[in-house]
Amino acid sequence: MKVLIAIPTYNEKENISRMLNSVLSINETIRTASNFNPLPLYISVLIIDDNSPDGTAEIVKEYISSRKRLAADTDVNANININESVNKNMNLISSNCVNAEKRVFIIEREKKLGLGTAYVAAFNFALDNGYDYVITMDCDFSHNPEEIAGFIGLMESEKCGMIVGSRYSGGVRVIDWSMKRLLISYSANIYAKFITGIKITDLTGGFNMYDVNCLKKINLSGISSRGYAFQIEMKYRMVKEGKCSFKEYPIIFYERTYGKSKMSKGIIFEAFFKVIKLRFGFFK
């Protein structure tokens, strides 16, 4: 099973190295889990960076280069010591990621092009490179990387087209949001669900898993949403256009600790009107 973890970034220097280490450790976590059937598993990470002025892309590229150097040295000396200065200054190397030099990739874009186009680029990368599944998630640890094992386990057992990470399935699981923000999000999901007719409790959530065979059934080039409206459009297309089955996986959503939220009024308005356009078939 080849799984691509797609993570769009814009000004995430406080989170990116820790996130990469966390995601790359999932392989071993799944292999050693007593309740998980052993399976050939290859997890890679694709960062899609929109020319972050804080140097996020440079950190990722140094992360990749460090692993290439480490792997090359390991071929010569199996007992190599990790470069302490790099580890200390940038938190780049973790001891369980020695063979990860070919598991981290980056797409650098010339400007801020939006969440939707970033994920479409990731889907096309997965299609072009023989991946079986794509998991989309944020870089700010609002999505817990440890949940990836649960996504993969559910996908293996259910064999569906899409796993939706839901903050609202069976109750509300959101940490450290204001009541105002929670009400806006919860109401937006009720509105989107009612208008589109898609029976998913969290249409706006970004922690999801897609079967590449289902991605092939939808018109990726026709996706027009740039902001968080993409999450609604993508789920709508998977169900209505791709005729793909889905399961919801309950997650806990955490407010970011470092960096700034990318939410804006423009993103909210785009999502509001996108739902209406989808309902009346105004999409390619």
| CB hemisphere CA count around 244 (13 angstroms) | 27
Q: pLDDT by residue (tens digit) across 82-139? A: 344 334 434 443 333 334 457 999 999 999 998 899 999 999 999 999 999 999 999 9
Domain ranges of the chain: 2-277
Average pLDDT over residues 232-258: 92
Contacts of 279 (CB under 8 A, 6+ apart): 195, 196, 197
Q: Name the pairing type of β-strands 42-49 and 104-108.
A: parallel
Q: Are 1 and 41 in contact (CB under 8 A)?
A: yes
Q: Using alpha carbons, select from 92, 268, 65, 255 the residue that is nearest to residue 173.
A: 255
Q: pLDDT by residue (tens digit) across 155-204? A: 999 999 999 999 999 999 999 899 998 998 898 898 889 989 999 999 99
CATH of 2-277, one of 3.40.50.2300, 3.90.550.10, 3.40.50.11310, 3.20.20.370: 3.90.550.10
Q: Is 163 left (phi over 0), alpha (psi -120 to 50) or beta?
A: beta
pTM over 0.85: no
Quick one: pLDDT at residue 28? 74
Average pLDDT over residues 216-236: 88
